[in-house]
Amino acid sequence: MGKQNYLANLLGVQRVDKHERYLGLPTYVGRSKTAAFNYLKEKLTKKVISWRATLLSGAELGDHPSFPWRSVWEARDVLMKGVRWQVRNGEDIDIWRDNWLFDSFPSSPCSPQPGDAPTKVSELILPGSRTWDEDKIAQWFASVDRELILKIPLSQHAPRDSAYYMARDISLGLVLAFPSIPDPYTRLWAALWKATVPNKVALQAWRSCVNILPTRHCLSTKGYVGDMVCPLCGSGIENNVHLFIHCNYAREVWAAANLPVPSMHVFVVKDYLLQLVGILSTEHFGKVLILLWAIWKNRNTQVWEGTKQHPCDAMLMAFGWLTEFQKANSCEKQSRVQRQG
């Protein structure tokens, strides 16, 4: 004890008979284990409360959702379906702020807003004939926006624009009936993730379907102000639909592949792929996915290295890789069955 006091005085610390805890646990447990370990219960309770508060903010429905939370969750479709205005009379739509144009995804015009430009879509419509005022559109908008605007059909009855009514009708239906809204793309997602293709190929196709590939048009919505032209063909705005379907380079890749893919008027990539799932075999759908990957790969090498493969070479390379992958996958399955047997 004297040595302990001497060392404590020398080091300037206090001497204790015993430490209450070591590595978070009590060094001495008396007769009452409840009293000794009660602090652990308190700490765990605080952690659970903290975790519970964190989980309350999660975009998940849960196993036993409350009535208000289910209402909020189901109403998310209002946001998805009302994100783009459907033009009727145009009086409720702000030209420069609202999403009323549609290319690969809903957006407002990419043309800059002049100070004296019209502000409502109704100002771009000739009231007598219910047609677009092409002179005004040519005056205020860049060519890419002009094309998108003139593609929008106009109702002859000029009812109110539909985003509000869609939100109202869906909200009323959800509150009164809680309808089950099936995902129309369930079949596509199932085919996509079951396809015998490399994981990164399926993932790249999914990113294209949900419009998160960094095409130039997509990047422009996040602040990109550079060249918008497709790097593969040098014409047209680079978005998902153009890059994978309408681009001359992509068309040559599809032609070289000689797949039974019908020609369709496409506005959304995932709608196109959904139709292909219904008419193509599993083998051919896998080839479609690998060609999407090949087009995207050549797009990237063109952007970053200034080179791209000939469309025929791109097709052959993609199909060759797919064949090797499927053979390896088949051998692995056979080996697994033999080991289990």
What integer pLDDT is reported at residue 258 of this predicted model? 92
Mean pLDDT along residues 226-239: 93
Most confident of 116-125, 153-162, 176-185: 116-125
**C-alpha torsion angle, residues 15, 20, 21, 27 (rounded to 10):** 100
What integer pLDDT is reported at residue 61 of this predicted model? 62
Phi then psi for residue 129, to 5 deg, are -100, -5
- The answer, yes or no, to whether residue 161 has pLDDT greater than 80, is no
Nearest to 217 by CA among 106, 121, 83: 106
High-pLDDT (> 90) share of the chain, %:
38
Tokens of residue 104, six digits? 């690969």
User: Are the beta carbons of 255 and 248 closer than 8 angstroms?
Assistant: no
Most confident of 37-46, 83-92, 143-152, 294-303: 294-303
pLDDT-based confidence at 29, cuts 50/70/90?
low
Residue range 165-215, pLDDT digits in tens: 444 444 445 444 444 557 788 999 999 999 999 999 999 999 999 889 999
DSSP string covering 305-321: HS----HHHHHHHHHHH
Higher pLDDT, residue 251 or 21:
251
- Per-domain residue ranges for the chain? 21-58, 86-150, 186-340
Partner residues linked to 132 by β-bridges: 125
What integer pLDDT is reported at residue 177 of this predicted model? 46
Tokens of residue 76, six digits? 């998310």
What integer pLDDT is reported at residue 25 of this predicted model? 65
What integer pLDDT is reported at residue 213 of this predicted model? 92
From residue 135, how far is each of 10, 92, 125, 140, 141 by CA, in Å? Answer: 94, 22, 10, 9, 10
Mean pLDDT along residues 123-148: 88
- The answer, yes or no, to whether residue 11 has pLDDT greater than 60, is yes
Distance of CA 80 to the CA centre of its chain: 12
What integer pLDDT is reported at residue 54 of this predicted model? 47
Name the pTM for this structure: 0.50
What integer pLDDT is reported at residue 178 of this predicted model? 45
Distance between CA atoms of residues 168 and 337, nearest Å: 55
pLDDT-based confidence at 108, cuts 50/70/90?
confident
Tokens of residue 277, six digits? 């799932």
User: Are the beta carbons of 36 and 29 closer than 8 angstroms?
Assistant: yes
Instruction: List % helix, strand, coil for the chain (3-state, nearest 5).
Output: 55, 5, 40
**β-pairing verdict for 125-126 and 21-22:** unpaired
- The answer, yes or no, to whether residue 224 has pLDDT greater than 70, is yes
Distance between CA atoms of residues 142 and 130, nearest Å: 22
Partner residues linked to 21 by β-bridges: 26
Residue range 41-100, pLDDT digits in tens: 777 776 665 555 444 444 666 656 666 666 666 556 555 545 677 888 888 899 988 888
From residue 231, how far is each of 255, 302, 338 by CA, in Å? Answer: 20, 7, 49
Mean pLDDT along residues 27-53: 65
DSSP string covering 217-285: HHHHTTT--S--B-TTTSSSB--HHIIIIISHHHHHHHHHHT--PPP---S-HHHHHHHHHHHS-HHHH
Biggest CA pair distance of the chain? 107
Tokens of residue 288, six digits? 């479609």
- The answer, yes or no, to whether residue 271 has pLDDT greater than 80, is yes
pLDDT-based confidence at 116, cuts 50/70/90?
confident
